[in-house]
A and B are shown apart, each in its own frame.
Chain A
Amino acid sequence: MNPNDSIEVSAPTIEKAINQALEQLGAQQDDVTIEVLNTPRAGVLGLGARQARVRVTRRAPEGASSGVTSPPPAPPAAPKPGDAASVADTSPAETTHLETSAEEDLQSKSEPAEAEQESELEEVPPGAEKRSPQSTADRDLVAREASELMSRILELMGEKATVEIAHGGGASGLELNIKGDGSGLLIGRHGQTLDALEYVVNRILARKLKDAALPVSIDTESYRARRRRQLHRMALAKGEQAKREHLTVALEPMPPRDRRIIHLALKDDPLVTTRSSGEGFLRSVEIMPVDDRREGAGTRGRERRRERATEGTRERNPPGQQGGFKRGQKRIV
């Protein structure tokens, strides 16, 4: 078989990956064999996210003729522009990780990807060029809507404050900065008022702008930055404590944004691992000294969840039917 008639493509969903691959091969779905290499996974807080990955191979007979009209380019170069354009918002780093094979240890592989995200963005000019004109317009629209909305809310709250758009609020988001009287009223205990404002603003924008909406983060008096530094310091201190006492240290429950800071603060420390436990607003981070664990870092929570899922299926299917059921489901796409 001609090796040029087989390509691998990553995209957020299996369907998208297949469509992209077919486009690149210039083939119809009936003419190819599709292998799903990786199923997509949303991940938690941007950790452990994974894209769908498929290998599409053209079947022998029609290969020669249509291969001429659209010669399949070298795999590493080809998927980049298309992928980056359509996918960049979700996880740009993954699209360029073409060599990534089946991932056993999710956390260890996806965390480097996470760290590289920003530099990867700059390294992919074709995608960046395609994206920027449209997304700049989008950003301006969202920024205008968001700051208008925020000003109106502040006015109704009786706050004498102005809203400015802070630039460089990350790759996919937008940051609003409220300049107020400095009373801390807008921050609230542990930033809960700020979080509430942010949540409501995002809800309203999502309803108004539909798909064009971008995540907006709201800050005042550099509270977010201060909180980030404080959490980072606390994470390191608690990490030391866990190592010193050889005990799992449980932190107080925190919102996802804060937990993420803890996870990231300790991810490069080989002597401790972190994981989140609990549900909803009671979810909190646990820091464990490394000799405490039996398997790969951070995979336990995930595995447990998977176990729970299979238990559920087992309950639904009577034991006698299970084998036949499974065999019937086995299929190549």
Chain B
Amino acid sequence: MKELVQFLARQLVNNPDAVEVKETQGDTASVLELRVAKEDLGRVIGKQGRTAKSIRTILNAVASRTNRKVVLEIIEEK
């Protein structure tokens, strides 16, 4: 799951080296924190959040097999 997000994000951005994904496993859910270079933030979010929404949809499809919930957070650095 983490690798999937990492791969998709790296394909979408201009600075693939700046892509970082941190996975935190809970009891029933996993949280994936995605960090990208500031200028690439828009590329992983997309117009009206469409890209982010699509990535979440894909993740949920994968997660539905394991009966766990996945939350994708896109972290904006200050």
Contacts and interface: CB of A to CB of B under 8 A. Distances in A.
Given A192-B57, A193-B58, A200-B51, A185 B12 contact: no
A280 interface: yes
A12 B3 CA distance: 42
Interface stretch (A18-26, A61-69, A151-159, A232-240): A151-159
A186 B64 CA distance: 11
A199 B7 contact: no
Contact of A200 (B3, B58, B61): B58
Given A157-B4, A196-B54, A199-B50, A149 B61 contact: no
Interface of A: 149, 152-153, 156-158, 185-186, 188, 192-193, 195-197, 199-200, 203-204, 207-208, 280
B8 to A, nearest CB: 6
A157 B7 contact: no
Interface in B1-60: 3-4, 7-8, 11-12, 43, 46, 48, 50-51, 53-55, 57-58, 60
Interface size bracket, B side? 20 to 34
A157 B58 contact: yes
A156 B4 contact: yes
Contacts of A157: 4, 58, 61-62
Nearest to B5: A156
B65 interface: yes
Given A153-B4, A193-B57, A207-B12, A158 B62 contact: yes
Given A152-B7, A156-B3, A204-B11, A185 B48 contact: no
A204 B8 CA distance: 8
5 contacts: A153-B8, A185-B65, A196-B61, A203-B46, A208-B11
Given A156-B3, A158-B65, 17 more contacts: A153-B4, A153-B58, A156-B7, A158-B62, A185-B61, A185-B65, A186-B61, A188-B57, A193-B60, A195-B57, A196-B53, A199-B51, A200-B51, A200-B55, A203-B12, A204-B12, A280-B48
Nearest to A188: B61
A200 B4 contact: no
Contacts of A188: 57, 61
A193 B53 CA distance: 10
Interface of B: 3-4, 7-8, 11-12, 43, 46, 48, 50-51, 53-55, 57-58, 60-62, 64-65
A208 B16 CA distance: 13
Nearest to A207: B12
A203 B52 CA distance: 12
A192 B53 CA distance: 10
A144 B3 CA distance: 22
B48 A200 contact: no
Contacts of B43: 207
A185 B58 CA distance: 10
A270 to B, nearest CB: 37
Nearest to B48: A280
A208 B3 CA distance: 20
A192 to B, nearest CB: 6
Contacts of A153: 4, 7-8, 58
A195 B55 CA distance: 11
The 9 A-B pairs at the shortest CB distance, nearest first, are namely A196-B54, A196-B57, A156-B4, A193-B61, A204-B11, A199-B54, A200-B54, A157-B62, A196-B58
A156 B50 CA distance: 21
A265 B4 CA distance: 39
Nearest to B61: A193
Contacts of B51: 199-200, 203
